[in-house]
Amino acid sequence: MAIIDGLNKVFESKIRLGIMSVLVANGSADFATLKSLLELTDGNLASHTRSLEEAGYLRCEKKFVGRKPNTTYIVTESGRNAFAAHIDAMERFLKECRG
């Protein structure tokens, strides 16, 4: 087994890694917060959150705040577990590289 086998392909994108980092640290974040923190365009953020949602790693809730639409992303238990496993695999990888 190669030392990179434990890494999750879904998290290869630095944007998805950033989204999941924010969500795991906070439990949830709205679209505007993620867009601002990660300095992304609307389309780029929407594309990556859709991929994470399709993987079952986050879910989104849409509602109106006043008259404005608000989309909030919430990390799922599956997402939290997959992200933790990915971080563990990264740590093992780094230890192996250090020899």
pLDDT in tens, 45-86: 999 999 999 999 999 999 998 888 899 999 999 999 999 999
> Residue 3 falls within a domain, yes or no?
no
> Residue 2 falls within a domain, yes or no?
no
> Residue 76 falls within a domain, yes or no?
yes
> Cα-atom radius of gyration of the chain, to the nearest Å?
15
Of the candidates 56, 54, 49, the one whose C-alpha atom is nearest the C-alpha of residue 29 is 49
Domain that holds residue 51: 11-98
> Residue 1 falls within a domain, yes or no?
no
> Residue 85 falls within a domain, yes or no?
yes
Residues in the chain: 99
pTM of the model: 0.90
Rounded to the nearest 10 degrees, the angle between the axes of helix 42-54 and helix 14-26 is 70
> Residue 89 falls within a domain, yes or no?
yes
Q: What is the pLDDT of residues 6-56, one digit of tens each?
A: 899 999 999 999 999 999 999 999 999 999 999 999 999 999 999 999 999
What's 80's domain CATH number?
A: 1.10.10.10
> Residue 73 falls within a domain, yes or no?
yes
